[in-house]
Amino acid sequence: FFFFLWPRVFSTAQACVAMAKGAGKIKRSEDVVTREYTIHLKKLLHGIGFKKRAPRAVKEVKAFAKKMMGTDDVRVDTKLNKFLWSQGIKAVPGRVRVRLARKRNDDEEATDKLYTLCTHVVVERHQYKGLQTVNVDE
pLDDT by residue (tens digit) across 99-129?
A: 999 999 988 888 889 999 999 999 998 899 9
- Predicted local confidence at residue 4, as pLDDT: 53
Quick one: which H or E segment has residue 59? helix 53-69
Q: Which residues of the chain have pLDDT under 50?
A: 1, 9-25
Average model confidence (pLDDT) across the chain: 85
CA distances from 9 to 3, 18, 57, 86 (A): 10, 14, 49, 59
The pLDDT score that the predictor gives to residue 18 is: 47
Indicate the helix (H) or strand (E) that contains 95. strand 95-104
